[in-house]
Structure 1
Amino acid sequence: MAGGFAPDILEGKRVLITGGGTGLGRGVAKHLVDHGAEVHLWGRRSSALEESAAHASSGRDGVVFLQSVDVRDADQVDAAIARIWSEHGPLTSILNNAAGNFIAPTESLSARAFSSITSTVMNGTFHTTLSVGRRWIEERLQGTVLSTLATWVWSGSAFVVPSAMAKSAVHAMTMSLAVEWARHGIRVNAMAPGPIPTDYAWEVLNPTGKSSVGATQPDQIPMKRVGTVDELAALTIFLLSDLCPYLTGETIAMDGGQRLAGPNTFAGLAELTTDDWEEVRASATAATAAAKAQRDTGSGERPR
């Protein structure tokens, strides 16, 4: 069990995880189920969601449900939330985890590239939080909003400017709604994990294979290691539980001391040459093509 918590600490919790088909969302989902939560997974690729649901449920029925949802579309988000409310009951918690990112010199970005990140991270988080928050307030229900951010919300981060901007906006939302919605019994917090390698994301954010550039390397972190999904799951369980109901409006860093010691996550990319950036672009194009090849256009919701 993550963090040594009781296996039923999340009993009675109904948790939505956006971006639940891959990466950190997939890794955390299983821990929430193992601690008693009913989990709803959202993502854009049905095939990835199916794999994530199977991993999280470990063969148990009625504990994991999935929907293909594009959080960038407010109407689609609201319809999906309405379906959860109708078929399962009110959510108790949201984990805003849907995100996207790539490294690039900012001057090379197109408006479409900028929007592809900000529309998911900022707009998608707001659409989901508002749709659920409105229902909680109307029905006089308490709830917990939790978002996955990064330490860039304090320091900024070169070469990932759209992500840094969007996550900073969610950081501002966290502090703002914590004050506005506290009287309704709604807590709003966020987590800012340091480097935690996951499939695909780590390849995109550290694509050169060079130890001195790309995402922060373990030897640049005071603890001399990267974080783990188990550690992030433990923090998530604590923040979604009822252990500290007075905690709201906070973004909690979990990065082995990286943000306090520096350098910023992608500071080393300033060393890249023009040839290096060509290699990065080629790697990113190949990774994107592979992801598109796996994309499943089906939709719907299936229990696991």
Structure 2
Amino acid sequence: MAQGAAASRPPGDVEADECLREYRHLCSPDILAGQVAFITGGGSGIGFRIAEIFMRHGCRTVIASRSLQRVSEASKKLVAATGQQCLPLAVDVRQPQTIVAAVDEALREFKRIDILVNGAAGNFLCPASALSFNAFKTVMDIDTLGTFNTSKVLFEKYFRDHGGVIINITATLGYRGQALQVHAGTAKAAIGPFALSRSPWLFVPTTAAGMALFSVPHPSCALSRRHDPSPCCGVGSQQHPSQQPGAGPHHGH
């Protein structure tokens, strides 16, 4: 009984993320060959693991974080484990000019960006009564505004003319509520509708390139949403008008 209880407990925190010792998959090992992914928050947590899995399937990556040291160390691990290229860059998603500089450098290095993963997030446990004005604003700025900022820069720099995929990491905290998480729940809840809205700057009829936009709940939310059918918490997508049934020819990746 005690052994079963111990097995059900989540693993403890670790100082740094490590690549998988063993990896099994159903997808083709080269399903992402030739593609490039730009991943914010890619130096740790889910962003790090997304980068690793993408790279194990042939994708080259750009991992971005406020801490250049963190993404540089993560990049070395990812390259050693997968044999793919990984470019570490310093980015503060609250500051669009840093995103512009990073995207420019990524395009100089790889000549293309096919996938954007908006994984940058700020979070901590705190009761709402103890949250400072600045603490709440900081989480909103990183999670919500950072998602918009990075998506807009990538669209204007590359996706407008070439098409691409945007993946937003959200959470179900805003739908069921979670103690000590009113700030994170609010910020993540604002991300869900990105995949359900036809933003004028994201889907413009003047481009023939295809666009896809997804909002994916963080794995830690999976158990809490067993019966939650909300489309904002699951995977949603929108097609560029040129990809809709009856539309003319289009090109993309």
Q: Give the shorter-chain TM-score range.
A: 0.7 to 0.9
Q: CA deviation at 1:156?
A: 3.6
Q: CA deviation at 1:2?
A: 4.8
Aligned to 1:185: 210
Pairwise CA RMSD: 2.3
Q: CA deviation at 1:99?
A: 0.5
Structure 1 residues 96 and 137: alpha-carbon distance in aligned structure 2, compared to 1, 3 A threshold: closer
Structure 1 counterpart of 2:197, one-letter code: S
Name the structure with the higher helix share: 1
Structure 2 counterpart of 1:255, one-letter code: A
Could you tell me the percent identity over the aligned residues? 25
Residue 259 (structure 1) aligned with residue 250 (structure 2): no
Q: Pairwise mapping of residues 194-213 of structure 1 onto structure 2 (< 5 A)?
A: 194-195=219-220
Structure 1 residues 57 and 115: alpha-carbon distance in aligned structure 2, compared to 1, 3 A threshold: same
CA-to-aligned-CA distance 1:256-303 (integer Å, 9 cap, x gap): 4x32369xxxxxxxxxxxxxxxxxxxxxxxxxxxxxxxxxxxxxxxxx
Structure 1 residues 80 and 102: alpha-carbon distance in aligned structure 2, compared to 1, 3 A threshold: same
Q: CA deviation at 1:49?
A: 1.0
For 2:70 and 2:142, the matched residues in 1 are separated by 17
Q: CA deviation at 1:6?
A: 1.0
Structure 1 counterpart of 2:187, one-letter code: A
CA-to-aligned-CA distance 1:158-189 (integer Å, 9 cap, x gap): 42111111111111222214795286411000
Structure 2 counterpart of 1:192, one-letter code: P
Residue 123 (structure 1) aligned with residue 124 (structure 2): no
Matched-pair contact (CA < 8 Å) for 2:38–2:61: yes
Structure 2 residues not aligned, in runs of 5+: 1-22, 229-253
Aligned to 1:5: 27
For 1:117 and 1:11, the matched residues in 2 are separated by 35
Aligned to 2:247: none
Aligned to 2:50: 28
User: What SS does the aligned partner of 2:92 have?
Assistant: coil
User: What SS does the aligned partner of 1:42 have?
Assistant: strand
User: What SS does the aligned partner of 2:125 have?
Assistant: coil
Matched-pair contact (CA < 8 Å) for 1:10–1:32: yes
CA-to-aligned-CA distance 1:67-100 (integer Å, 9 cap, x gap): 0111110111112112222332121000110001
Aligned to 1:108: 130
Matched-pair contact (CA < 8 Å) for 2:37–2:60: yes
Matched-pair contact (CA < 8 Å) for 2:65–2:92: yes
Structure 1 residues not aligned, in runs of 5+: 196-253, 263-304
TM (norm. structure 1) is 0.61
Aligned to 1:289: none
**Number of corresponding residues:** 202
Structure 1 counterpart of 2:144, one-letter code: M
Structure 2 counterpart of 1:155, one-letter code: R
User: What SS does the aligned partner of 1:91 have?
Assistant: coil
Aligned to 1:159: 180
Aligned to 1:297: none
Q: CA deviation at 1:107?
A: 1.6
TM (norm. structure 2) is 0.72
